Amino acid sequence: MFPASNLFSYNSMMYKHGIAPIFVLKKVTRLMSQSQHQSILFEMLRSFTTLAYTLNLSKAVRILGSTRQTLRRHIDILEEIRGEKLFEVQDRQYHLTETGSQSLKEAGSLLERGEAWLEGRIKTVDGLSLVKYDDEDGFSLYSQQYPVTRIWEDSPPLLRHGLKAWVDAKAQLEHPAMDKIAPYTNVYRKHKNSWLCVRVGEQSSIARWLGPVWAKSAIGCVLEEDPMSCGADLFTIENYDRVSQETSIRLDHVFVRLPRKEGEKPQSARYQRLLFRCFFPDGNSAVATLIAITNKVDIAGLDLTGIPLTPEDALMEFDL
């Protein structure tokens, strides 16, 4: 054992060489010894989420390629470890308990993030998030979060005006200070486990890129159902959640490939995005997005050489 007086210097040395310090190793060892079942955590989460969405044991077993005994055992273990019932069975029909319903989104998120991490689609750079996503339809999303102070280095004037307006308005959506950026801002309200679009600025990025008809069709849709919906919506929802619950404001550099009209081939676009938490007049929370389409983006590991620049007609590098 290390004397207490030497513990700090030992931990510092371990960090320096990229090794977990002793208190982290102790915590890992303690967690591993608590239950032999933790090594199959993801299998248990898959069993839980699949049964939760189907509420049918036979169907869940077929989807998982598992057995009834295995699936029941996974649920029993989860309930035992958590000390809470996730399901009730009435007349051989499964029903989620209140705890089960509340746990479903988080369990699904853990699975999605675990798979994304294994595939190298999410990571952190200097403690801030980096996302890489491509799908079979040609859609791409590469996003890197930056400290908000980066806005004074290379962000378009629109975002700087947005930051100032948010501060002057004290995060109130209907404050006169927000009027200047309102035409460029989209607003979302929390709706169950997602975010509902309640306002699309007439001159916002989505209106410029997709056109006013398609853009206005997003109003009243949750993120997973709007005109720009894709498999990367999970990351967007998590970003909105964190802004609403933790950070209040966030700056990202983003590169995407998506069509400008339905049926067209995806086109490349670069933009910087400012997310900020706001409040409706009744005090309910909202998340507003202010996006400036620009070719000035910097995303770690993404070589943009040879990729066409964003078309001039779509750029938003103007001053207000």
- CATH classification code of 35-118: 1.10.10.10
**Residue 129, burial from CB neighbour count under 10 angstroms (0-12, 13-18, 19+):** middle
Q: Which of 170, 145, 149, 169 is nearest to 159 (CA)?
A: 149
pLDDT of residue 119: 66
pLDDT of residue 9: 42
Whether the pTM exceeds 0.85: the reply is no
Strand pairing report for 249-258 and 285-293 = unpaired
Residues 33-69 as b or e (16 or more Cβ within 10 Å = b):
eeeebeeebebbbbbbbbbbebeebeebbeebebeee
122-180 pLDDT, tens digit each: 777 777 888 888 877 778 889 999 999 999 999 999 999 999 999 999 999 999 999 99
User: Distance of CA 227 to CAs 185, 209, 230, Å?
Assistant: 17, 11, 9
The domain 122-314 having CATH identifier 3.40.50.300: the answer here is no
Helix (H, G, I), strand (E, B) or coil at 141: strand
Where do the domains of the chain lie?
A: 35-118, 122-314
Beta bridge partners of 256: 141, 269
User: Distance of CA 267 to CAs 130, 145, 264, Å?
Assistant: 21, 22, 9
Query: Mean pLDDT lowest for which of 96-105, 228-237, 286-295, 301-310?
Result: 228-237
User: Distance of CA 5 to CAs 8, 23, 27, 39, Å?
Assistant: 7, 14, 20, 35
The rounded distance, in Å, linking the Cα atoms of 234 and 116 is: 11
276-314 pLDDT, tens digit each: 999 999 999 999 999 999 999 999 988 888 888 877 877
The rounded distance, in Å, linking the Cα atoms of 231 and 240 is: 16
Place of tokens 């927000």: 178
pLDDT of residue 212: 81
Q: Reduced to 3 DSSP states, what percent helix, strand and coil does the chain have, rounded to the nearest 5? A: 45, 25, 30
CB atoms within 10 A of CB 313: 7
178-194 pLDDT, tens digit each: 999 999 999 999 988 78
CB contact at 8 A, 284 and 195: no
